[in-house]
Amino acid sequence: MRDTPEQEGMDGTMPIVVNLDVIMAKRRMSSGELASMIGLSHANLSILKTGKARAIRFSTLEAICEALGCQPGDILEYDEADKDNDLNGGRNDGE
């Protein structure tokens, strides 16, 4: 079943921002190192880092948080303005 525009932005984006690359940089950890630590392929970690993932398992999120010493909220962020912008056809002027 496909998401409706209300659930997903019209351009295919969602208002969930993935800040994994920021946390990794703060911890000075490479993608290869994190992928090895959590048992995830480089390709799947890349999909997650770029925000192209449509879902994440709690077990994967747990492993990432454990490896990076962070909380889920450090990695994932909800950007309501981005959702409003997508639903208004790119306008964020409240019309």
Task: Tell me the HSE value of 19 on the side-chain side, using a 13 A CA sphere.
Answer: 16
pLDDT of residue 88 exceeding 80, the answer is no
Q: 14 or 11, which is more confident?
A: 14
- Torsion angles phi and psi, residue 16, rounded to 5: -95, 120
**Helix, strand, coil percentages for the chain (3-state, nearest 5):** 50, 5, 45
Q: Is the pTM of this model over 0.85?
A: no
Q: Is 78 helix (H, G, I), strand (E, B) or coil?
A: strand
Q: 12 or 87, which is more confident?
A: 12
Residue 55's CB is within 10 A of a number of other CB atoms, namely: 6
CATH of 16-87, picked from 2.60.40.1180, 1.10.260.40, 1.10.10.10, 1.10.150.80, is 1.10.260.40
Summarize the confidence of residues 84-91 as an average pLDDT: 54
Model confidence at 85, in pLDDT bands (50, 70, 90)?
A: low
pLDDT of residue 81: 80
Lowest mean pLDDT among 22-26, 61-65, 90-94: 90-94
Hey, what are 29's tokens? 């950890």
